[in-house]
Amino acid sequence: VESVAIDSRTPALERKELVEDFRRGKISVLVNVDIFSEGFDCPDVEFVQLARPTLSLAKYLQQVGRGLRKSDNKESCVLIDNVGLHRIFGLPVRDRDWEAMFEGRMAGNAQPRTRMENNGLSVSCSLSEDSKQNEGLEIVMTHNCLLDAVRNGDLVRLGEDGPAGGEQRTALKACRDRQSGLWGLRCGNKITVLPQYREVFDLCADRAAVRFEDGRTGVVDDSGTPLMVTDRCRRLRFLKGELLSVTKEDGSDCYTDLKTNRTYQERPVVFSYGGIELLRVGETFHSRTRKAYTSMHGLHKDSLCFYGFYLKIPDYRVPKSCRLVDPVWSAIFDVFACVLEGDDEEVYWCCGCLADRSIVVMDGEGNYYHVEKGKGKRYIACNAPKAGEADFASVVEGLRKEAGRRAESVQRERQQNEEEKRRKRLEEIKDVLPFRMGMKWGLKWGDRIVVPPCYRNICVPVGGYCAFEGNACQWGVMALDGKVVVEARYQKVEIEKDGTVHLTIIPGKVKT
């Protein structure tokens, strides 16, 4: 995170530049000591952390007010109170008896007498209906809970798990019906689920962990549709990586993968490879596909290899029915389990790689698929073909020929592109000149070194080439970009303007 600190000793010009960078978003965090408490106009501020104690209500409201200005695309402001000012003054938007304070009948936080009598400084105090409507702030968690969440790594960064395209949406929140004592869900000012839950344990993106009226627990979406229902438990808590921590009635914990609804006794660790995710539980890896897969015991994370559109998992438990693209391959070392990017169905067995880097895989039912990057899988054969259906060997033979032609075409295109780039580069550096550094010579284009000094001698370029001396009396020819065209093993080299090169092998014997 880009952050800077400004104090009274910061030069005025430097302070102005830092503030402008903060407004433009180049700087994310601005630390100061009572410099921007008042009069600082930046409505886009979304986070204020208070570390300065004060007994002045005006000072407190000015400090938090730096983040409470309205702005486009700004839904909320996070306030972290490290010094407990909210316990003295209450939340910034609470109703205050300013007249009584100005008349001297009330000091300090200007809280109405009824609020004070009702323990109005308590976070959990009950509010009147009018006060409730004006209560624009919420205490999400106490400072101790915040520290625990940071230590446990349970905080989700703003923007994570959001909707596709980076669109911002109103956060899902719990709302309580005071008459029935039940809880519902709301997005902003819109109630999406009427109060019907005995308890709301936790919220994450568009999901909520709740206790139903019958005492069971589960996870629901923002419309109240149950996504998962569990037996009675003590507590549910969302973790990073779409995991759910379940505290049972006996106090023990288990963990549920919200993508597959599978439960583990140890806390899983999420490993990401491109768009593929695996869970490490103890000494084994588990897939997040519809059909469960568990790797061999003791597999190290460095033995997994990602190839852009599939993840290779070493596994010698290859089914005997799995056929190979190249029968010469060893079934133990070259056949492996693989997870396909964008395929949440199951983990496949890879039967081999083709010349164009595509692969052939087999599923658990004995069906074979051809998989290309960016195109997904395509059915090609099975172990028990029906009448009139091509067998595995003939289909693979055709795929190998087709892949070979594609690989050759790609290689030719790559070479043509490289040659075109090199031609343009040679045109740009046609004015290179030899230069000497110590006892070695190289080529230089203006202030830019094209060929580092590593030769005994280099002659002035003629056309697009120049003669160079590698070892003593051993001359060759190289292009202006340093690519050696003729190896340095001739006694003398002469280059003409038309590109003709005369190579002296021994005195009197010249090769052109």
Q: Are residues 22 and 60 in the same domain?
A: yes
Q: 149-163, 186-200, 263-277 — which is least confidently predicted? A: 149-163
The model's confidence at residue 236, banded by pLDDT at 50, 70 and 90, is very high
Q: Are residues 291 and 385 in the same domain?
A: yes
pLDDT at 218: 93
Whether 125 is in a domain gets the answer no
pLDDT at 493: 87
Q: Are residues 41 and 145 in the same domain?
A: yes
Q: Are residues 394 and 451 in the same domain?
A: no
* CATH code: domain of residue 43: 3.40.50
pLDDT tens-place string over residues 337-385: 999 999 999 999 998 889 988 999 999 999 999 999 888 899 999 988 8
- The predicted model gives 124-137 an average pLDDT of 41
Whether 51 is in a domain gets the answer yes
Q: Are residues 92 and 187 in the same domain?
A: no
Name the domain count of the chain: 4
Q: Are residues 82 and 210 in the same domain?
A: no
Whether 278 is in a domain gets the answer yes
Domain boundary among 354, 389, 405: 405
Q: 13 CB contacts (<8 Å, ≥6 apart)?
A: none
Q: Are residues 358 and 331 in the same domain?
A: yes
- Strand partners of residue 281: 284
- Strand partners of residue 125: none
Tell me how far apart the alpha carbons of residues 276 and 347 are, in angstroms, rounded to a whole number.
11
Domain carrying residue 89: 3-109+137-152
What are residue 400's phi and psi, to 5 degrees? -65, -40
pLDDT tens-place string over residues 161-210: 443 333 445 688 999 888 888 999 988 778 899 999 999 999 988 899 99
Q: Are residues 393 and 345 in the same domain?
A: yes
What is the 3 state secondary structure string of 14-63?
Answer: HHHHHHHHHHHCCCCEEEECCCCCCCCCCCCCCEEEECCCCCCHHHHHHH
Residue 132 has pLDDT above 70, yes or no: no
Whether 293 is in a domain gets the answer yes
Whether 410 is in a domain gets the answer no
Tell me how far apart the alpha carbons of residues 277 and 345 are, in angstroms, rounded to a whole number.
13
Q: Are residues 191 and 253 in the same domain?
A: yes
pLDDT at 106: 52
Residue 244 has pLDDT above 60, yes or no: yes
Q: Are residues 292 and 397 in the same domain?
A: yes
The model's confidence at residue 125, banded by pLDDT at 50, 70 and 90, is very low
Q: Are residues 355 and 496 in the same domain?
A: no
Strand 348-353 relative to strand 336-340: parallel, antiparallel, unpaired? antiparallel
* CATH code: domain of residue 186: 2.40.10
Q: Are residues 8 and 59 in the same domain?
A: yes
Residue 126 has pLDDT above 60, yes or no: no
Q: What is the CA radius of gyration of the chain?
A: 35
Contact 434, 455 (CB under 8 A): no
pLDDT tens-place string over residues 301-341: 889 999 999 999 998 888 888 888 876 654 445 668 999 99
Whether 117 is in a domain gets the answer no
- Mean pLDDT estimate for the chain: 82
